[in-house]
Structure 1
């Protein structure tokens, strides 16, 4: 399978900075309004618009809601505080959701008269909501330069510069806001976020600690959350756990904090605590797909397979476009031998990501195991069409074609896989098998030797090598390889049987006997080992032992004419003509299969 199994609990609040400013990267979370995160899929581009929770208060709408910074409620209040009429009207339009009308009103005001800094500041602030970060930054910078240099305008300039990708400029603006208003918690928080986004974890720690000291209310539980993330990145796990717990104490329904706490609890060895924390996160926010996904992984590792599958199902319901829960469920179902259900899960994943060649490889491989070779070949052919450079797809396609007896096509597919990934041992082994099946033993021998040069402990390749060498009469080489095989896998029945075959066929049946006896210890029901043990005894002249092995074999396979003839020969060597004749007659009465 191509699926990597690297499902550590997802770390909420990985801070990143891009053209839209500071945003917290999260694996498919749908957070509550004040969770301090935004919801995106793993690997997707960041959203194009600022979110209030990503930058604490990234727009003036959010900033104005901070205690101590109320907005004017009506025009009279605006006049009383010296706010231009156009600004007051624009604020009312904005609050009513009529953003474009508000922008138009302010643009008209600036065009009809001298550029008022308060109007510029308000237009720049509202433009943030539309994603016009660069224009917003320019207007806000002009506003502070022309005298509108209050803390709120500096703060929004910081947000605009963050959104425009100017991280250092954003820091300078937040510092100006704090200089104007030392207890401006939103500015202090966003300042810390710029440090986190730039990778300066030590400075981020200091700045987030400052936020936690400035405001100890539940509104700023997210500062403890971010501090915990920083401490975890610094390798200070116990301190990070304590900080997540403080965030939860301030805000008991903080589902993302429970989710991240689970990561650190697992890391510290408290898997039961991690599971409880994830279950709490999922109860608080049933729509948090990542919590269900993480819970599914831990339950699977604990052997609670049904609980894991239920968690994966809930993750898929929470985020129908998320691939991981379907893929993890499919892997688990496959491991449990529930192949039809695994096929369905892979098919659902393939329907979500129609151009994902790797998922098609997984789906085709399951279909092959189910015996649906037509569907398997169709999906694997589509996989190599989508991604001709995917060696695993060519290898899987080769297996299907070999199963259909299309050995030349299989050989061609394996060679494509090897050309793409010369170190891919599986494709080289499969190529050797196909060459052997297609009647080219010398070429197959060479390929098996290549496999062993790359992976000397490849037991199955050495098994085939021993058999081919013995069949070709290369006795010295067969004996050497049989000895290596027996040492390599002393408790592997298949390997021991192949080694015994090589010894017996190459003229040393005495070394085959103990190996076959060991096979029967490991697999008492192995009738073929009994038959071959009888053959080895006969080659050694131990006919009584041979008779005993043949009789035990025929108790299990009473209709094997070949074994009856072997038994008849052994009785002849013992001088028991009557028993020899009896078993010859019985053999003749059965369909002849050779020997």
Structure 2
């Protein structure tokens, strides 16, 4: 079965609209708080300042609550932080910084009115505090409330600094809460407005904190400058050194970062924050054992440090997944609401393909930290992988609302939109992402791909240049370049880039897959197989490569190997619909019912149109046209641009047959898919069949179509062949050969098509030469063998066809019942005609076991027995078979044929009367053809009146519209024969003459006239009447024999033999008169077929032509058939009306009997009836 629409591999045309990225990862290398890779640690979202929850020691409850609240603020758990601040205010109701921290937490959580209410309360107790008034002013500026801003400014101008209150305390609040933008602004104000020049340590602290804020904003050069300025004043500050290490690490200088971490730890060995960051650095540099050792050191000193547990879990995620899971669970046992532990569990579940559990874990992390944007991003990405796009989109919208300036959120939104096919919106979101972060390489790549897909090739090239500038030595840049070339229509130039990408990154799965697709599209199937196998050695678990390997093997006709690959792939990945689809496609070629199971499995996993159309094709192969029509109709309504849906609808209607509906489906499909050449070709063929519309003119532009158009050259060539356009047909065949691969099986298929076209063009020698080349190239190709056998059988070369049929019989799969039955039938028929009856009987026995209830097969078997002369066996078998069949079965075409051949067997075995009785027994099931046969049997029986009545009833009962002109003509001719047999010669003459005038070019009436002229003795006029017939093909057997016997009458055996041999005798069952002639003169028979014996009943068919009878009797005697010769003379002598003519025949009969032993009495009777004295005297001679 051909599969024109659907392929399980991802073709380039599909990839242009599939939202498929050439990047090996679809995710940005995010800051740790938003990264989904377990190896990226999350410590950067932990405190950059101060201690951790697990290290509070014996501090007061107020101090502990304050530090917990600040840590929760840095984690983005704003409502949890607000709860801590509320508890702190309960313990210290007049604490200014607890109140400001509480207001800050509520503001970040979005509860602005509650925060404003707290500030109103604070004003009552701390009106003169400049820190409070400055906080109020910035709060209302952010809220864009001008009236409150003016009031806060006025109050600020009247405020003052409380004695002994640090000037940087507001900056500390913002900094410790992780509000680095506000902290940076306050720190810069301190350097500009406050008099702190005398305090070097305070100045150094301000510069250090400014550097930390700048680092958080990715302003690394400015951060490095501020931190170094702080170290110039206070060179032994371990916190500043660790911050400088973080800055160097973010800038991509791991050696310098490691040096600063180690210096900080040398000054303060108890700084576990610094030790945790050094562990991160070691792990990022591939030093996993050193990283684990650092974390174990932290946990020995701080056994309840949940952050260290989770980061150690991340480090061991790949080497020890179970241990990693246990560490995360241990962290949750200490802090059940710890979001990073839940997030890590989500990462582990997603890595194991447990997406439902991953989604639940991320949801719990989000519940613990509702304001954490990075958790929203991870949750959204997990939902996207699960196909829950609406939910993913909702999470991303929440993330954007929480942080409208996060480039990652815009990039993830763009990814979702691209996956939905909304490329225009996706393009805008990626543009926003790179606007917010010009160094966002992944977003630049995505922008380049989307611009290329939308044919904005200049924009795509500009984005590609930015990618190469940001990451110049990345292998995926070569992949992106190949992708852009393909989208520009320059796919042929992409192969070098793909090979360079694979050479630079052997594990680059996308490049391996793209290279395989590239080679397959160019029919380089062997190279595609090699590329797929090489890719699987590098990335053995990459499912698409298994799929492409199977596709390359399928194209090389190595279906068994392809199925083995697919079964291995399905064992590893049973939920991949493409694997089930290709398995269905390959299996359908030999077992459509089993393929139906696989196709339904693919549709169950993915109800997209491609898989539903595959299911429709398999249903058609199973003979379920209703199911095929339903599937194709549903797809055509939902996806009218799917050309294959319209093609399948046309196929179903054509098989019904309803050519008009098929043509309507094709034309409607062309309305939606005007450039699809499969539809155009199909439409042209149907229009040509109906003789309306443009027809073959639709294909006039086929040779000037674009080079990348998918043109079905096989169908085009066959259609041109049907239309007799030889030049265009050969040109299409040349295109088919040129665009096919050099693999012998593919070239053999091309020659097979060439052979089919040659048959339709009437060049049978060319067809045989072409199919001979196909067999030479691919002797194992079963379709090639089948066509070879059919062509040789048509050319009456049964001996040459038998080896092909035998090969097919031996190699066709047992489950392919339909083709096996076809081959067995052809073998049985061909060997039977060749005379090897015993071998043919074996084939028939096997065939009848496969199809015991097939009416057509039963009719063919009885026909075989008739040809073999096994009349008794044929009669017995047909009687047994007919008794088990219903009237509905017998009314079918095959049932009518079975009745006819069984009647012929009975006629040969038991005579005309028995045959007539047999047919009359099934009178209710007799159709026009079998009633015609009954009439002929009745005529041969001599029941002329019954035959006339039957013919009259046929002509009266059957409507005119139900009869073809040939049927009506034939029955009129039979009616005239009845008139002749009944003695109404004048009426018969008049009816035959009128019929000949109505049908001047038909043989029947002219043969009747010639026959009646012959009976009158006007043999030459009879020959002239036969000459009036214009023959466009070989004459009918009636015409052939009538002219032969007239020539025998007029000119003797030689002219009769020349006439018979001038026309090929291609009759399976020779008529009685022909059997008589070939028995008398064996040279008149067909030397390619065994001679059928002549019986005495056959002599009844010899016409009453005196000279012809005498010649035939003499020849029969010479062939040692004296009994037949005597019987022929007797029959004709008794049938003739003329005494003189009969006397001659009786005299010859008497002389023949005298020469035969024991026939003296017969000789006396013949001599007496002939009134021949000479014959009587000859009888007296001993």
TM-score normalised by the chain length of structure 2: 0.31
State the 1:252 CA deviation: 0.8
Q: Quick check: 1:94 aligned with 2:66?
A: no
Check 1:452–1:186 CA distance in 2 against 1; reply closer, same or farther (3 A cut): closer
Deviations 1:3-58 (A, max 9, x none): 326649524793658xxxxx527xxxxxxxxx847xxxxxxxxxxxxxxx334458
Q: Which residue of 2 aligns with 1:251?
A: 505
The answer as to whether partners of 1:205 and 1:231 remain within 8 angstroms in 2 is no
Using the alignment, how far apart are the partners of 1:528 and 1:461 within structure 2? 31
| Aligned counterpart for 2:444 among listed residues 169, 188, 193 | 188
Using the alignment, how far apart are the partners of 1:278 and 1:550 within structure 2? 63
Check 1:78–1:553 CA distance in 2 against 1; reply closer, same or farther (3 A cut): farther
The answer as to whether partners of 2:23 and 2:510 remain within 8 angstroms in 1 is no
Q: Which residue of 1 aligns with 2:1057?
A: 543
| Aligned counterpart for 1:155 among listed residues 408, 418, 427 | 408
State the 1:77 CA deviation: 3.3
SS in structure 2 of the partner of residue 24 of structure 1: coil
Q: Quick check: 1:171 aligned with 2:430?
A: yes
Q: Which residue of 2 aligns with 1:414?
A: 657
| Aligned counterpart for 1:85 among listed residues 71, 74, 80 | 74
SS in structure 2 of the partner of residue 252 of structure 1: coil
- Tell me how many residue pairs correspond in the alignment: 441
Matched ranges for 1:455-474 at <5 A: none
Q: Quick check: 1:576 aligned with 2:832?
A: no
Deviations 1:214-248 (A, max 9, x none): 3256xx53343233112122233354222212321
Q: Which residue of 1 aligns with 2:26?
A: 54
SS in structure 2 of the partner of residue 4 of structure 1: coil
Using the alignment, how far apart are the partners of 2:587 and 2:374 within structure 1? 57
SS in structure 2 of the partner of residue 259 of structure 1: helix
Using the alignment, how far apart are the partners of 1:324 and 1:364 within structure 2? 18
Matched ranges for 1:17-166 at <5 A: 23-24=19-20, 36=23, 53-57=25-29, 63=35, 71-72=42-43, 75-77=46-48, 84-87=73-76, 90-91=339-340, 93-97=342-346, 98-107=361-370, 119=371, 121=373, 125=377, 128-129=380-381, 131-134=391-394, 136-137=396-397, 139-140=399-400, 143=403, 153-160=406-413, 162-163=415-416, 166=425
Using the alignment, how far apart are the partners of 1:565 and 1:461 within structure 2? 46
Runs of at least 5 residues in structure 2 that lack an aligned partner in the other structure: 53-69, 78-337, 347-360, 384-390, 635-645, 668-685, 697-717, 724-757, 768-791, 802-829, 836-866, 868-1033, 1045-1054, 1062-1081, 1128-1182
Q: Quick check: 1:552 aligned with 2:1074?
A: no
Using the alignment, how far apart are the partners of 1:76 and 1:558 within structure 2? 108
SS in structure 2 of the partner of residue 253 of structure 1: coil
Matched ranges for 1:59-458 at <5 A: 63=35, 71-72=42-43, 75-77=46-48, 84-87=73-76, 90-91=339-340, 93-97=342-346, 98-107=361-370, 119=371, 121=373, 125=377, 128-129=380-381, 131-134=391-394, 136-137=396-397, 139-140=399-400, 143=403, 153-160=406-413, 162-163=415-416, 166-179=425-438, 182=439, 184-196=440-452, 198-216=454-472, 220-267=474-521, 270-317=524-571, 319-320=573-574, 339=590, 341-350=591-600, 352-353=602-603, 362-363=617-618, 366=621, 376=623, 379-384=624-629, 413-415=656-658, 418-419=660-661, 421-422=663-664, 451=690
Check 1:222–1:125 CA distance in 2 against 1; reply closer, same or farther (3 A cut): same
Using the alignment, how far apart are the partners of 1:295 and 1:583 within structure 2? 76
Deviations 1:480-518 (A, max 9, x none): xxxxx9994231899xxxxxxxxxxxxxxxxxxxxx999
Moved more, 573-582 or 242-251: 573-582
State the 1:204 CA deviation: 2.2
The answer as to whether partners of 2:452 and 2:460 remain within 8 angstroms in 1 is yes
Using the alignment, how far apart are the partners of 1:561 and 1:397 within structure 2? 51
State the 1:261 CA deviation: 0.8
Moved more, 279-288 or 229-238: 279-288
Using the alignment, how far apart are the partners of 1:394 and 1:264 within structure 2? 32
The answer as to whether partners of 1:265 and 1:273 remain within 8 angstroms in 2 is yes
Q: Which residue of 2 aligns with 1:30?
A: none
The answer as to whether partners of 2:532 and 2:549 remain within 8 angstroms in 1 is yes
Using the alignment, how far apart are the partners of 2:612 and 2:400 within structure 1? 48
Q: Which residue of 2 aligns with 1:14?
A: 15
The answer as to whether partners of 2:519 and 2:528 remain within 8 angstroms in 1 is yes
Using the alignment, how far apart are the partners of 2:414 and 2:793 within structure 1? 78
The answer as to whether partners of 2:650 and 2:665 remain within 8 angstroms in 1 is no
Q: Which residue of 1 aligns with 2:1143?
A: none
Using the alignment, how far apart are the partners of 1:566 and 1:324 within structure 2? 71
Deviations 1:334-366 (A, max 9, x none): 65xxx3x44422343245437988666655665
Deviations 1:506-553 (A, max 9, x none): xxxxxxxxxx99944798788989998996976575515635462424
Using the alignment, how far apart are the partners of 1:11 and 1:458 within structure 2? 28
Moved more, 540-549 or 453-462: 453-462
Using the alignment, how far apart are the partners of 1:239 and 1:308 within structure 2? 29
Q: Which residue of 2 aligns with 1:442?
A: none
The answer as to whether partners of 2:619 and 2:625 remain within 8 angstroms in 1 is yes
Runs of at least 5 residues in structure 1 that lack an aligned partner in the other structure: 18-22, 26-34, 38-52, 108-118, 368-375, 400-412, 426-446, 463-484, 495-515, 589-595
Larger radius of gyration: 2
Using the alignment, how far apart are the partners of 2:581 and 2:764 within structure 1? 34
Higher relative contact order (CA 8 A, sep 6+): 1
Check 1:549–1:66 CA distance in 2 against 1; reply closer, same or farther (3 A cut): farther
Deviations 1:258-302 (A, max 9, x none): 121123234566543222102223444455443333333333333
SS in structure 2 of the partner of residue 298 of structure 1: helix
Using the alignment, how far apart are the partners of 1:302 and 1:459 within structure 2? 28
Using the alignment, how far apart are the partners of 2:45 and 2:1087 within structure 1? 101
Report the structure, 1 or 2, having the larger helix content: 2
The answer as to whether partners of 1:358 and 1:393 remain within 8 angstroms in 2 is no
Check 1:174–1:388 CA distance in 2 against 1; reply closer, same or farther (3 A cut): closer
The answer as to whether partners of 2:583 and 2:595 remain within 8 angstroms in 1 is yes
The answer as to whether partners of 2:35 and 2:378 remain within 8 angstroms in 1 is no
